[in-house]
Amino acid sequence: MSILSTILTQSDTLAMAADSIAATAAATAPADQELSIWSLCLKGGFIMIPLAVLSIVSIYILIERYLAISAAAKEDHTFMQRIKDYIHDGEIESAMKLCRRTNTPYSRLIMKGISRIGRPMNDVLVAIENVGNMEVSALAKGFTWLATTASGAPMIGFLGTVTGMVKAFFSLASAGSAANVSVLAGGIYEALVTTVAGLVVGIIALFAYNFLVSRLNKVMKQLEAKTMEFMDLLNEPVK
């Protein structure tokens, strides 16, 4: 019995010691920290400011140009037939008024063509193409910014990476014998956060640019189709 009692006593002692160690470890362990987007942005340093500006402007251009191009792509399927009827009836002024009321890129092309009726066909086509180029250029406003952001934002992020690593190693060298991992933390945070931010902004701008270009190409095809339809209309024999 004495041996059994001794074993039980030792087991209880070990259990109490284990509980004491666990409690001490729990008390000394650092509290869990939540990693939020805002705290990461603050760790990125001043490089995050131009990246934030680029992202805000890029998102604005995406939304604004999408709405503008979508409005330009709307089509009245009876428009060309009405223009044809007016021209065949000699009602040029009515055709011009219809173009003004429609107020779309293709209606402005047709209005320019109607204003050149009576001149050589090549002159009419050139006038329409000039207006078409101006309309496309107006719709593509802001595309250069998106293209620049798509290529420039990752480079700015990499700049932040370099400056962050420079700060990290400078802090490590300044710490001397007291150097440890925590000394490097600030610089490494900045280096990694700016890289991620630059890539994210660049990817957003790249996808926005390609999306808007695809939408604009549809409008350009529409303008080309309307131009050819109008030129065919002028070449039709009057019945």
| Least reliable range by pLDDT among 131-135, 184-188, 207-211 | 184-188
pLDDT digits (tens, 9 = 90+) for 59-73: 999 999 999 999 988
Beta bridge partners of 117: 119
Q: C-alpha distances in angstroms, 45 versus 33, 48, 123, 164, 177? A: 20, 6, 58, 9, 27
What type of residue sits at position 18? A
Report d(CA 180, CA 193) in Å as an integer. Answer: 21
Q: What is the mean pLDDT of residues 201-218?
A: 94
Token reading at 184: 């490097």
pLDDT at position 26:
44
Question: Count of residues for the chain?
Answer: 239
Does residue 153 contact residue 51 with C-beta atoms inside 8 Å?
yes
What type of residue sits at position 82? R
Report d(CA 111, CA 231) in Å as an integer. Answer: 13
Q: C-alpha distances in angstroms, 104 versus 68, 74, 107, 129, 220? A: 11, 8, 5, 15, 13
- In three-state secondary structure terms, 66 is helix
Q: Mind giving me the DSSP string for 159-217?
A: HHHHHHHHHHHHHHHHHGGG--HHHHHHHHHHHHHHHHHHHHHHHHHHHHHHHHHHHHH
| 18, pLDDT greater than 80 | no
| Least reliable range by pLDDT among 26-35, 132-141, 168-177 | 26-35
| 117, pLDDT greater than 50 | yes
Choose among 82, 78, 39, 72: nearest CA to 190: 39
Does residue 157 contact residue 199 with C-beta atoms inside 8 Å?
yes
pLDDT at position 11:
44
Q: What is the mean pLDDT of residues 34-44?
A: 56
Choose among 120, 119, 97, 118: nearest CA to 110: 97
pLDDT at position 12:
52
pLDDT at position 187:
62
pLDDT at position 22:
45
CA atoms within 13 A on the CB side of 40: 11
Choose among 116, 185, 212, 198: nearest CA to 154: 198
Choose among 101, 136, 130: nearest CA to 113: 130
pLDDT at position 235:
77
pLDDT digits (tens, 9 = 90+) for 63-99: 999 999 999 888 888 888 898 888 888 888 998 999 9
Report d(CA 45, CA 163) in Å as an integer. Answer: 10
Q: What is the mean pLDDT of residues 99-103?
A: 89
pLDDT at position 14:
37
pLDDT at position 192:
77
Max mean pLDDT among 46-60, 164-178, 179-193 falls in 46-60
| Least reliable range by pLDDT among 108-112, 160-164, 170-174, 223-227 | 170-174
pTM for this structure? 0.74
What type of residue sits at position 94? S
